[in-house]
Each structure stands twice: as C-alpha cells, then as structure tokens.
Amino acid sequence: MKEQIVKILTELRPEFDFNENVDFIEEGMLDSFDVVSLVDELETKFNIKINGIDVIPENFSSVENIEVLVNKSTLK
C-alpha cells in the first residue's frame, strides 16, 4: 500500500520526493487543494470513504499517516 500512496502523491506533486521523512504539510509539499485531490484519489484507488472529520493536516503529514487513514476508512 505504501508504494501506491507514494505513486499517488508523486503524480499529484511530481516536484517533491515523498519518500523523505518530513512533514508534508509543514514543508509545503501539500496544500489544502492537494489534500482534497488526494482524498478523491485515495477513495477511488482503495474503494474507501474517508470521513470528513478525518480530513485534518495530521492525517496527511506522512505516508505512514496516510496509510493509517486509508486502513481505518470504511468501504464505500
């Protein structure tokens, strides 16, 4: 799953290396529009529904946090 998440992130923002161990939000790698696009891509790719209350910066700050979010999100 990690590789699929990195692929989605790289397609969204190819100018960044999402394998780095940095906070994607704090470093400006993802902005609010990117997060909305990312939620849509994750929901489609993994056939899940991400709850609106889970769309917070902390859940999109690293590949690991995104993976936790995907795992806890319910199926459509």
Closest to 33 in 3D by CA, of 6, 53, 55: 55
% the chain with pLDDT above 70: 99
Give me the long-range contacts of 9-16 (CB less than 8 A, separation at least 24).
9/38, 9/63, 9/66, 11/41, 12/37, 12/38, 12/41
Contacts of 58 (CB under 8 A, 6+ apart): 65
Average pLDDT over the chain, rounded to an integer: 95
* Res 76: pLDDT: 61
d(CA 5, CA 9): 6
pLDDT digits (tens, 9 = 90+) for 34-59: 999 999 999 999 999 999 999 999 99
**pTM to 2 decimals?**
0.92
